Amino acid sequence: MEFAELIKITKVDRVVLHAPLCTSFSGTLSLSSHHSIFSSRTDDDKELWLLHRMVDTVERRIGALSGTLFLKCKDFRIIQLDITGVEACNNVADTIECLSALDNPKWFHPFFYNPAFVIMEDGWSAFATEQDFAKIKLVSDDWRISSVNHDFSVCPTYPEQVIVPKKVEDSVLVASASFRQMGRFPVLSYFHKKAKTALMRCSQPLVGTTMRRCNGDEELLKSVLMGGKKGFIIDTRTQNVAQLAKTKGGGCEPEVHYPMWTRLHKPIERYTVLLESLSKVVEDSASSFHRYAA
């Protein structure tokens, strides 16, 4: 596929732009493979670059001799373009709709763009596990870096290196991963230097209705607590949801097998509720804009 096949029009003059936090102005709209570029072409040279992937929907209002496009963006912006000529307006809309819905990642801007300069920074080395671990090492010798997930075979959503209790072997981590949903075994997320307490994260245990257990997982969590201390397991589900998860193979840590841990339920809303809330915000902002535009 060539981008030229999707771009029905490359430039349109006498376009009026209405965008948030700026005054309306007239200029030229240029369409490239990944951006819609609007320029006033005047001495002050006002300019707006809009990545096509940022456009969620394109709404058209076509008149007899001209048309208006409402570009509803994923960052809640609504950009209005008043375009002279019905054909030009439809061509711009068709082009943006196609280029904002590319489904092949290799055509996305970060992967397609080939800079003409040498990139000095390497994002892969911006955050090094060794540097963060060195700060922990200064105050505690109870942790180590494990490369058990070096090929992402243990947990596809964890990094190659993780910080785990020093006492446990990698074989214990593998056993714990087999007992946790998606292989997300307990790993260190935050360490409080003064209190020398740790915050770890993991997924739900695969207990099920048969009350399965895993010696490796129990050993891993036991190794976190030093000198008879006790810990808290914060379950982000309601107690009813956690119990219901057992019927689907999940569940929560049985207190009889994790006697040093106290489970607390601090539920977070399910993602469907958050999506519904987000949709209402988008709809409300869109309707408010249209009332203002009208």
What's the rounded Cα separation, in Å, for the pair 260 and 181? 22
Q: Taking each helix axis as running N to C, give the angle between helix 215-224 and helix 170-178, from 0 to 180 degrees, rounded to the nearest 10.
A: 120
252-288: pLDDT as tens digits: 999 999 999 999 999 988 888 888 888 888 777 666 5
The DSSP bridge partners found for residue 61 are 68
pTM for the complete prediction? 0.68
- The torsion angle over the Cα atoms of residues 202, 203, 204 and 205, rounded to 10 degrees, is -70
pLDDT of residue 111: 87
pLDDT of residue 249: 96
- Residues 154 and 180: beta-carbon distance below 8 Å: no
Per the prediction, the chain carries an average pLDDT of: 91
pLDDT of residue 294: 53
143-198: pLDDT as tens digits: 999 999 999 999 999 999 999 999 999 999 999 999 999 999 999 999 999 988 99
Domain boundaries, the chain: 3-116, 127-265
Q: How many other C-beta atoms are found inside a 10 Å radius of the C-beta of residue 155?
A: 21
State in words which class domain 3-116 has: mainly beta
The DSSP bridge partners found for residue 26 are 16
- Residues 233 and 207: beta-carbon distance below 8 Å: no
Q: Which residue has the higher pLDDT, 36 or 279?
A: 36
Q: How many other C-beta atoms are found inside a 10 Å radius of the C-beta of residue 30?
A: 15
- Enumerate the H helices of 179-230 as residue ranges: 215-224
Residue 127 confidence class, pLDDT cut points 50, 70, 90: confident
199-232: pLDDT as tens digits: 999 999 999 999 999 999 999 999 999 778 899 9
- Enumerate the H helices of the chain as residue ranges: 86-99, 109-112, 129-137, 170-178, 215-224, 239-244, 271-293
Statement: residue 142 has pLDDT above 90: yes
pLDDT of residue 10: 94
pLDDT of residue 286: 64
- The whole-number average pLDDT for the span 72-88 is 92
- Residues 257 and 219: beta-carbon distance below 8 Å: no
Helix (H, G, I), strand (E, B) or coil at 50: strand
Helix (H, G, I), strand (E, B) or coil at 267: coil
What's the rounded Cα separation, in Å, for the pair 93 and 85? 12
pLDDT of residue 202: 97
Name the percent of the chain lying above pLDDT 70: 96
Q: Which residue has the higher pLDDT, 118 or 156?
A: 156
